[in-house]
């Protein structure tokens, strides 16, 4: 597929043109952090940060989402009958998502389209998006994406890969899919990059990958049995500092667990899907009061066993972590998945 | 794309108090939309999410048998938010059912085999479904001997009493009913389920499978009995109950290791369970 060279002026114009056809979404600065937001007319995505504080998963898996509506009014002929909430999924282009985050959303998709069932809320939102990713030229110190089957230039989850090309704010835009091609057409990009561009991108990719010094290994985890890893005697120790606050699960782009709750407003109501966290006791509490994960360390163990073993065994597509480093940076107790992985991999 | 979260609307057709302490009620539902019953076609051992708008959803084993048409039946213990509300509902009210969900007892494997069913307390629901299904004249020939050990604290705590009495009289099923201690007019066994199992269970063989459902304490003491009788772990079948929400393998809360109890289960052999963390 084609690679375009986009200078600063064509970039601004192109985004405006594509905004006629697509709802644009991109990172926006919020105090000291960044978050993915729908861009206002004329607003440019702020591509100066490496990562958003929360991952972009809310684009396909909102923190709280109405699934169904109902009435409990006995005079309503549809009393107590659940209705699918009316939703629109406008065509969206997500500009500036990082390659490993886009890969993370593919991992979520494995969960939400499991062969037997499809979650329409997730899948409709996902299908409506064209992922215009931005390669990471200067990885952060907590980036260990290259050991997680992805990386700063990973193309797997993307429709277009943007590579910042130089001082002037120019980009190379590598078109990866038909969806990406359609977006580039809508943006009116047409100037193809010179013939040496592939070599240049390869070189930048190599430099970025080499700049990542943080690595994890899970070769031994793969070979050990679930029970060997689960019953290992280090868990209480390993999880000792964890206060089960759940920050890691909310910040993580691959944590997919959710809760379902009803909310009533008089005789009207909604059934909603909310982010949930395996770090809470309520997550697994039975009606009888029995809780299979009664103790804090058992919940911490669940998070890491899920990411590094259960998922890997179940799907055969590596671990359920893309190495973005968010949980490492945001954990108030300095729990570091890289260290836990090392302990498990001994 | 079919939305797997939207329940079928049903009408409550009948409600019966199921036990003397009134903590369990049996609900019969009929589907409001013609065609939904067909879509809900299920096998014995599966469960469904009972859905009450404004209250929430609860996973409950299907107690009716696939051979019974025109309604579906569930027996529910009153414990928390949703079950308490359900117990206050009336015949004629509308609610929802989502399913059928999960796997079922391995009926293909069980063809031509002897079956020992061991149930305790109110975990007898999907066992009732199974017995009813096997005893259907169309199906009875597909299975060998059927033994049922079923125990409760008192005679009044046994579910589906009328049927138990009926089955007791038949010669194509051996019923071994028991209560914890002597009770007036009780002519069957007295003692805990594991002890009665030890006395009455058929010897283990390649052609004999045990299905065990009950409270954790019963399971704990029944498994050693079965082992003593020579039952191999791949001939012992169990149904697990973990907290659930979605019931379709997505919300992530019901796992034991990599298995999701809602979708890969709730039915597992002891062999399979032995390989997973004991988080149930
Ligand atoms: C496969 C399966 C089959 C079951 N079959 C039966 C049955 O035939 N009869 C019966 O009486 N009970 C059955 N249960 C248990 C029943 O689901 C719980 O007692 C019920 O969910 C409690 O709901 P609550 O709202 O009253 O309790 P609360 O404690 O208020 O629970 C709130 C919510 O948590 C969840 N929850 C709580 N406890 C459980 C639990 N043990 N299992 C699953 N989810 C839970 C539910 O979503 C529930 O709505 C079964 C459970 C499973 C998993
Ligand atoms: S690992 Fe850290 S961020 Fe995650 S729950 Fe524990 S303390 Fe909170
Ligand atoms: S586990 Fe941590 S490093 Fe891995 S994807 Fe989630 S937030 Fe990123
Ligand atoms: S109940 Fe949601 S994954 Fe099992």
Using a 10 angstrom Cβ sphere, with 0-12 exposed, 13-18 middle and 19 or more buried, the burial of residue A223 is exposed
CB of B70 closer than 8 Å to CB of B30: yes
Rounded Cα gap, residues A192 and A3, in angstroms: 6
Which residues in chain B have their CB less than 8 angstroms from residue A69's CB?
none
Which residues in chain A have their CB less than 8 angstroms from residue B273's CB?
none
Residue A310 is given by DSSP the state I
CA distances from residue A223 to A226, A231, A314, B155, B270 in whole angstroms, order as listed: 9, 15, 14, 52, 23
Phi-psi region of B185 (alpha: psi -120 to 50; beta: other; left: phi over 0): left
Q: Please provide the average confidence, as pLDDT, over all residues in chain B.
A: 96
Predicted complex ipTM exceeds 0.85? yes
Length of chain B: 280
pTM: 0.94
Rounded Cα gap, residues A325 and A323, in angstroms: 5
What does the pLDDT look like over A305-333, one tens digit per residue? 999 999 999 999 999 999 999 999 999 99
Instruction: Indicate whether A1 pLDDT > 80.
Output: no
| d(CA A293, nearest CA chain B) in Å | 7
Query: pLDDT tens track of chain B, all 280 residues?
Result: 899 999 999 999 999 999 999 999 999 999 999 899 999 999 999 999 999 999 999 999 999 999 999 999 999 999 999 999 999 999 999 999 999 999 999 999 999 999 999 999 888 999 999 999 999 999 999 999 999 999 999 999 999 999 999 999 999 999 999 999 999 999 999 999 999 999 999 999 999 999 999 988 899 999 999 999 999 999 999 999 999 999 999 999 999 999 999 999 999 999 999 999 999 9
- Write out the two tokens for A81: 């009958």
CB of B114 closer than 8 Å to CB of B144: yes
Q: What is the mean pLDDT of residues A143-168?
A: 94
CB of B111 closer than 8 Å to CB of B78: no
- In this complex, do B258 and A111 lie within 8 Å of one another by their Cβ atoms? no
Q: What is the pLDDT of residue A50?
A: 84
Beta bridge partner(s), residue A129: A92
Rounded Cα gap, residues A190 and A10, in angstroms: 10
Centroid of ligand 4 to alpha carbon of B242 (angstroms): 9
CB of B17 closer than 8 Å to CB of B107: no
Ligand nearest to the CA of A247: 2
Instruction: Indicate whether A166 pLDDT > 90.
Output: no
Residues whose CB is less than 8 angstroms from the CB of residue A251 and which lie 6 or more positions away in sequence, other chains included? A53, A54, A55, A326, A327, A330
Q: Which domains does chain B have, with CATH numbers?
A: 8-100 (2.40.30.10), 107-239 (3.40.50.80)
Centroid of ligand 1 to alpha carbon of A78 (angstroms): 26
Length of chain A: 346
Q: What is the mean pLDDT of residues A241-250?
A: 96
Which of B103, B240, B254, B280 has the most ligand 4 atoms within 8 A of CB, as the residue to mutate? B254
- List the residue whose alpha carbon is closest to atom 7 of ligand 3: A252
- Write out the two tokens for A90: 């406008």
| Strands of the sheet with A258-265, listed across from one edge | A83-84, A64-71, A268-275, A258-265
Q: What is the pLDDT of residue B217?
A: 87
Centroid of ligand 4 to alpha carbon of B243 (angstroms): 8
Q: What is the pLDDT of residue B4?
A: 97
- Cβ–ligand 3 distance for A321 under 6 Å, the answer yes
Q: Which of B16, B14, B82, B75 is nearest to B52 (CA)?
A: B82
Q: Which of A308, A344, A292 is nearest to B273 (CA)?
A: A292
- In this complex, do A80 and B253 lie within 8 Å of one another by their Cβ atoms? no
Q: What is the pLDDT of residue B122?
A: 85
CA distances from residue A244 to A175, A231, A298, B277 in whole angstroms, order as listed: 42, 20, 10, 20
- List the residue whose alpha carbon is closest to atom 4 of ligand 2: A248
- In this complex, do B249 and A80 lie within 8 Å of one another by their Cβ atoms? no
Residues whose CB is less than 8 angstroms from the CB of residue B211 and which lie 6 or more positions away in sequence, other chains included? B105, B115, B116, B117, B118, B127, B130, B237, B238, B239
CB of A53 closer than 8 Å to CB of A35: yes
Instruction: Indicate whether A6 pLDDT > 90.
Output: yes
What does the pLDDT look like over B108-122, one tens digit per residue? 999 999 999 999 988
For residues A84-103, one letter each, b for 16 or more C-beta atoms within 10 angstroms of the residue's C-beta and e for the rest, the string is: eeeeeeebbbbbbbbbbbbb
Beta bridge partner(s), residue A269: A70, A264
Between β-strands B114-120 and B208-213, what pairing exists: parallel, antiparallel or unpaired? parallel
Grouping H, G, I as helix, E, B as strand and the rest as coil, residue A32 is coil
What does the pLDDT look like over A68-122, one tens digit per residue? 999 999 999 999 999 999 999 999 999 999 999 999 999 999 999 999 999 999 9
- In this complex, do A262 and B56 lie within 8 Å of one another by their Cβ atoms? yes
Instruction: Indicate whether A167 pLDDT > 80.
Output: no
- In this complex, do B53 and A70 lie within 8 Å of one another by their Cβ atoms? yes
DSSP strands (E only) in B83-155? 94-101, 114-120, 146-152
Q: Which of B243, B265, B272 has the most A C-beta neighbours within 10 Å, making it the best mutation to test the interface with A?
A: B243
Grouping H, G, I as helix, E, B as strand and the rest as coil, residue A76 is coil
Ligand nearest to the CA of A304: 3
Q: Please provide the average confidence, as pLDDT, over all residues in chain A.
A: 95
- In this complex, do B275 and A226 lie within 8 Å of one another by their Cβ atoms? yes
Q: Which residue has the tokens 């019931």?
A: B247
Q: What is the pLDDT of residue B251?
A: 97
Rounded Cα gap, residues B50 and B57, in angstroms: 5
Which of B251, B256, B257 has the most ligand 4 atoms within 8 A of CB, as the residue to mutate? B251
Q: What is the pLDDT of residue B215?
A: 87
Using a 10 angstrom Cβ sphere, with 0-12 exposed, 13-18 middle and 19 or more buried, the burial of residue B146 is buried
Centroid of ligand 3 to alpha carbon of A140 (angstroms): 14
Q: What is the pLDDT of residue A21?
A: 96
Measured between alpha carbons, how far apart are the two ends of chain B, in Å?
33
- In this complex, do A119 and B4 lie within 8 Å of one another by their Cβ atoms? yes
Q: Residue A264: enclosing H or E segment and its boundaries?
A: strand A258-265
Q: Which of A67, A82, A261 sits opposite B53 (nearest CB)?
A: A82
CB of B233 closer than 8 Å to CB of B269: yes
Q: Which of B50, B215, B244, B253 has the most A C-beta neighbours within 10 Å, making it the best mutation to test the interface with A?
A: B253
Closest residue in B to A283 (Cα) is B253
Which of B24, B80, B253 has the most ligand 1 atoms within 8 A of CB, as the residue to mutate? B80
- List the residue whose alpha carbon is closest to atom 2 of ligand 3: A327
Residue B110 is given by DSSP the state H
- In this complex, do B250 and A258 lie within 8 Å of one another by their Cβ atoms? yes
Question: Closest ligand 4 atom, CA of B262?
Answer: 4
Which residues in chain B have their CB less than 8 angstroms from residue A266's CB?
none
CB of A82 closer than 8 Å to CB of B7: yes
What does the pLDDT look like over A335-345, one tens digit per residue? 999 999 999 99
Following DSSP, what letter does each residue of B251-279 receive, concatenated? Answer: S--SEETTEETTTT-SEEEHHHHHTS---
């Amino acid at each position: 597929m084609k690679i375009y060279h986009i200078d600063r002026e064509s970039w601004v114009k192109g985004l405006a043109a594509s905004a006629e056809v697509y709802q644009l979404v991109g990172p926006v600065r919020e105090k000291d952090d960044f978050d993915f937001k729908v861009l206002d007319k004329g607003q440019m995505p702020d591509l100066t940060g490496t990562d958003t504080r929360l991952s972009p998963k809310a684009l396909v898996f909102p923190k709280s989402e109405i699934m169904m509506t109902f009435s409990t009014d006995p005079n309503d002929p549809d009393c107590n009958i659940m209705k699918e909430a009316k939703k629109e999924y406008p065509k969206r282009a997500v500009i500036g998502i990082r390659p490993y985050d886009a890969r993370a959303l593919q991992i979520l998709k494995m969960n939400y389209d499991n062969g037997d069932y499809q979650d329409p809320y997730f899948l409709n939102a996902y299908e409506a998006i064209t992922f215009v990713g931005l390669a990471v030229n200067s990885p952060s110190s907590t980036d260990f994406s290259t050991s997680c089957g992805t990386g700063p230039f990973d193309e797997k989850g993307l429709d277009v890969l943007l590579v910042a090309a130089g001082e002037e704010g120019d980009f190379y835009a590598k078109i990866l899919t038909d969806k990406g091609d359609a977006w580039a057409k809508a943006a009116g990009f047409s100037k193809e990059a010179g013939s040496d561009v592939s070599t240049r991108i390869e070189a930048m990719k190599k430099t970025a990958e080499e700049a990542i010094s943080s690595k994890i290994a899970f070769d031994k985890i793969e070979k050990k049995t679930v029970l060997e890893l689960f019953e290992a005697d280090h868990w209480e120790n390993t999880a000792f500092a964890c206060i089960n606050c759940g920050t890691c699960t909310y910040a993580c782009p691959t944590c997919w667990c959710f809760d379902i709750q009803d909310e009533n407003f008089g005789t009207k109501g909604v059934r909603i899907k909310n982010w949930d966290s395996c770090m809470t006791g309520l997550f697994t509490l039975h009606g009888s009061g029995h809780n299979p994960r009664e103790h804090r360390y058992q919940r911490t163990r669940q998070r890491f066993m899920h990411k590094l073993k259960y998922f890997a065994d179940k799907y055969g597509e590596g671990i359920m972590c893309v190495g973005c480093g968010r949980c490492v940076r945001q954990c108030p107790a300095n729990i570091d998945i890289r260290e836990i992985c090392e302990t498990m991999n001994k | 794309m079919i939305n797997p979260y939207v329940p079928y609307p049903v009408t409550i057709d009948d409600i019966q108090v199921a036990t003397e302490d009134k903590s369990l009620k049996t609900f019969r539902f009929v589907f409001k939309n013609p065609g939904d019953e067909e879509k809900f076609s299920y096998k014995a051992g599966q469960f469904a999410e009972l859905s009450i708008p404004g209250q929430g959803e609860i996973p409950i084993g299907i107690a009716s048998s696939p051979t019974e048409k025109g309604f579906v039946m569930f027996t529910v213990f009153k414990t928390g938010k949703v079950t308490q509300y359900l117990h206050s509902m009336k015949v004629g009210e509308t609610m929802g059912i989502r399913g059928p969900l999960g796997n079922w007892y391995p009926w293909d494997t069980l063809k031509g085999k002897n079956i020992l069913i061991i149930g305790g307390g109110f975990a007898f629901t999907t066992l009732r479904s199974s017995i009813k299904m096997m005893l259907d004249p169309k199906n009875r020939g597909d299975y060998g001997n059927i033994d049922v050990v079923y125990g409760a604290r008192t005679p009044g705590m046994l579910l589906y009493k009328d049927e138990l009495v009926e089955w007791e009289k038949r010669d194509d099923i051996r019923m071994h009913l028991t209560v914890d201690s002597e009770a007036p007019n009780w002519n069957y066994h007295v003692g805990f389920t594991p002890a009665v199992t030890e006395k009455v269970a058929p010897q283990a063989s390649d052609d004999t499978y045990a299905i065990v459902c009950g409270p954790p304490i019963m399971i704990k003491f029944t498994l050693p009995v079965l082992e003593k009788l020579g039952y191999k772990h791949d001939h012992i079948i169990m149904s697990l109950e973990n907290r659930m929400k979605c019931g379709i393998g997505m919300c992530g809360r019901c796992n034991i290791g990599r298995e999701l109890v809602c979708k890969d289960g709730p039915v597992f052999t002891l062999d399979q369970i032995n390989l997973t963390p004991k988080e149930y």
